[in-house]
Amino acid sequence: MNDPFEFLRQQELKTEKEARRLKLRTQVLMALFCGILLVFFGVLFQLQIVNGESYLPTVIHRTTTERERVDSVRGEISDRYGRLLVTNTMSYHVELKMGDMGDRRNEIISSLLALCREEGVEWAENLPISQTAPWTYTKENPLCYEREKEDGGTELKPTYLGSLAQKRGWVEDPLTETPDAETLFTAMCLDFGLIGEGEAPDASDREVAGVLYALYLRAESVYYLDYIFADDVDISFISKVKERGLDGVVFKTDTARKTLTSYAAHVLGTVGAIQDGEQDYYTDLGYPLDAMVGRSGVEQAFESWLHGTSGTRLIVKGEDGIIEGESWADDQPPEAGGNVYLTLDMALQTTTENLLSQFESGLEEQGGAAAVVLDMTGGVLAMASYPEFSVSQLNRATQGLYAPGSTYKMVTATAALTEGVITTRDTYYCSGLYTYYPDIRPRCAVYPGRHGTENVTKAITDSCNVFFFDVGRRLGISKLADYTALFGLGEYTGIEIDEKKGRVAGPETSKALGQTWYDGNTLNAAIGQDNHQFTPLQIANYVATLVNGGTRYQAHLLKEVRSADNSQVLYEYEPNALSTIDIAPQHLAAIKQGMLDLAENGKVSPYFKDLPVKVGCKTGTAEVGSSTANAVFVCFAPYDDPQVAICLVAEKGASGSKLAEMCSGILRQYFSTGSSLDDASPENTLIR
């Protein structure tokens, strides 16, 4: 009989053998692993400890990362048809980096200055000491500069010169004390290593010292920008500098604004540097302090669209100075500004300015002048101001204030008809004098003649003062002022560039001017005189409001904004209605008929008879003295479906009828090209 426990004993023996076998394998593997570790640590010891110095240059590679601001390119400005008006040109400027010059600093600067003299390159510096001996100060407080404080206001801080004078013990307070200029300048040159003890500085030392002073000054204050040593240098100069191996002399590209037309200067405006007191505002917007920003005109008005966004380039350099890689900080390269398209038609603008100049040159006594051409929704098609030669001149189209004269009579007519003071059939007899008031008898323009019986249409054609004296008296100054405001006269038009508000005649205005208001003043107000003062833009917009049926739109110069490559429309202007006047169709027809009759049968009719469209117009003569008057002229066309409204003003221009010829020239230009010219399709724009 078999032993029942034999099987169990055999199993135990088998298990023990396997355990011994596993233990042996584990021990072998551990020994092998320890051996490998010993070899590894031996190799590391050999490389790092025994032979470490010989391998050090090859295993350690030091790099540095420099940050370089890359400015955005300012957007371009075009007219409504894509004609380019303002663009950018590339130029080079020179910056100096003192840290890269090393021990050769003075030698490098001296060589650079010698090359500048050879090539006729002017450089910038502001050391307040004369250029030649005897050395004298060139500013009142040479040891200080003005710095803006964090809590507002400004404070004086010592410059390098002030600190040097204090260090030498020559002054206790450099803000109030000033040592002798020659003593201080000699110490400065000694401190800069330009001269030795006992030597006197010469003119060449003064040149180098001026550059060093500019570098140190910018190192002292965050409000000073990078030192732009020289602007707009040419390739020849750059090549010669590089040939001489002048370390620390860096050339960078600039974009300069270039205006491609001599017209519309008042509208396009200018760009310029950020001014004192504006730093915080532009810094909050992310602008670098040396950015060029819009200072006037549409350059200023559309700054947010035009400017773009700067980027920061990260440049990785090895120890040998060779560039090993570049990238953009925050993965944000510079973004170019948007391209702004204006409502202007430059062909019409050119014609308008030329005609305005020709008109003024034909006057015996020349003054200022202005012209505005609007579409029916407030878009400015042309805006001219004379004299036009300088953007520093007043833009009379938006800032000149003038009495409208008889061009205002349509306001009086609209108010009286709408308020029921008169109807289109009512008449008034013009005897040449208005006799309602026994003590004042204002005259009509034809006195000692008379117009006879006048209704509102004929009174507009004849420009009958007597008719409108009576209508204005019955209407009252309060209602007249209400309708004046509804038409936007004496109100801001909302245009994007600088404009003046003007004023409306009335008791409050007279009081503000220190004058007494009488009931009789209403008579003059009703014919566009008294204290009425409006801009040509306001007058043009009032005419557009009248003939479009009573909707006053905000005046505007912006048509749209496109991306830098013109592939996308970023913004498109939508007409903005500011107010409406409920003008009955029969009332508007009666007023327009009076303007049509003047253009077709009045004394200005010869100028409009050959135009391809019918025109409605109104002349005005605004007295500005006992023997001087401004000429005002307004018109609209085509008569049946108005597209444009025009206002012309000429200071000392006698009567408004003299402007009719100029107006016909503007209309001829517009209707020969403007109404049929399709928008140009700029590059990279999909044709729809």
Instruction: Judge whether 340 and 306 are in contact, CB under 8 Å.
Output: yes
Angle between the N-to-C axes of helices 409-418 and 536-547, in degrees from 0 to 180, rounded to the nearest 10: 40
Q: In whole angstroms, what is the distance from residue 406 CA to residue 633 CA?
A: 9
Structural domains of the chain in order of their starting residue, each with its CATH number: 368-556+571-660 (3.40.710.10)
Determine the average pLDDT of the residues in 165-171.
81
Q: In whole angstroms, what is the distance from residue 584 CA to residue 549 CA?
A: 9
What's the token pair of residue 632? 């005002």
Instruction: Please say if the pLDDT value at position 645 is more than 90.
Output: yes
- 3-state SS, residue 161: helix
Instruction: Judge whether 483 and 581 are in contact, CB under 8 Å.
Output: yes
State residue 540's pLDDT score. 98
| pLDDT tens figures, 14-37 | 777 777 777 777 787 888 888 888
Instruction: Please say if the pLDDT value at position 503 is more than 90.
Output: yes
Query: Which region among 52-61, 224-233, 368-377, 456-465 has the lowest average model confidence (pLDDT)?
Result: 52-61
Give buried/exposed letters for 515-524 (b at 16+ CB in 10 A, else e).
Answer: eebeebbbbb
DSSP secondary-structure letter at 671? Answer: I
Instruction: Give the containing element (helix H, strand E) for 328.
Output: strand 323-328
pTM across the whole model: 0.77
Q: Select the more confidently predicted residue: 677 or 446.
A: 446
Q: Which residues contact 631 (CB under 8 A, 6 or more apart)?
A: 619, 620, 621, 648, 649, 650, 653, 654, 655, 656, 657, 658, 659
| pLDDT tens figures, 571-610 | 999 999 999 999 999 999 999 999 999 999 999 999 999 9
pLDDT band at 514 (very low <50, low <70, confident <90, very high): very high
Q: Select the more confidently predicted residue: 567 or 100.
A: 567
Instruction: Please say if the pLDDT value at position 392 is more than 70.
Output: no
| pLDDT tens figures, 260-275 | 999 999 999 999 888 8
